[in-house]
Structure 1
């Protein structure tokens, strides 16, 4: 029996800067998970992934990541996505300097 669909966000890496990016409901990209589109329908998720894959000059390696609704927007449900959201862990720079969305 197939597993039930769980909510997702479309995520990738920015082609030029390498930052983690998320697809928004208006087809733009954001570096803030809280601004990402939370997709609750499996068919819609596949269509949104195709949309992301059609933008190779912006997004590298797009995929669907499990997420859940949070007080301020989508939140990761797996430690890998939490780690990606906060950026490199070797020292404070980039997203770790600005703790607004970490």
Structure 2
């Protein structure tokens, strides 16, 4: 028996900069998970992924990542997505350089 569907966000990497990005409800990309579209329907999730993949001139590696609703928007449910959201951990640069809590 298949597992029940869990909410998702569409995520990918920016083709030029390599940053983790998230698909929004208005078909744009953001670097903030909290601004991503949280998709709660399985069929809609597949359609949104196809829509995101059409933008292959600016993104690479789009996929659906498990997420949950939070106070400020979607939040990751798996440590991999939390790691991707905060950026590289070998030294402070990119997203970590701009954050004081990392």
Same fold (TM over 0.5): yes
User: How many residues were matched structurally?
Assistant: 102
Which residue in the other structure is 1:22 paired with?
Answer: 22
**Normalising by structure 2, what TM-score?**
0.95
Q: Residue 37 of structure 2 aligns to a residue in which SS? A: coil
Shift of 1:93: 1.0
CA distance, structure 1, for counterparts of residue 30 and residue 55 of structure 2: 14
- In angstroms, what is the RMSD of aligned CA positions? 1.5
Which residue in the other structure is 2:65 paired with?
Answer: 65
**Normalising by structure 1, what TM-score?**
0.95
CA distance, structure 1, for counterparts of residue 55 and residue 92 of structure 2: 30
Q: Residue 97 of structure 1 aligns to a residue in which SS? A: helix
CA distance, structure 1, for counterparts of residue 31 and residue 46 of structure 2: 21
Shift of 1:98: 2.1
Q: Do residues 95 (structure 1) and 90 (structure 2) align?
A: no
Give the 3 Å change call, closer, same or farther, for CA 101–47 of structure 1 in structure 2: farther
CA distance, structure 2, for counterparts of residue 50 and residue 101 of structure 1: 35
Which residue in the other structure is 2:6 paired with?
Answer: 6
Give the 3 Å change call, closer, same or farther, for CA 100–64 of structure 1 in structure 2: farther
Where structure 1 has 5 or more consecutive residues not aligned to the other structure, the ranges are none
Which residue in the other structure is 1:47 paired with?
Answer: 47
CA distance, structure 1, for counterparts of residue 72 and residue 53 of structure 2: 27
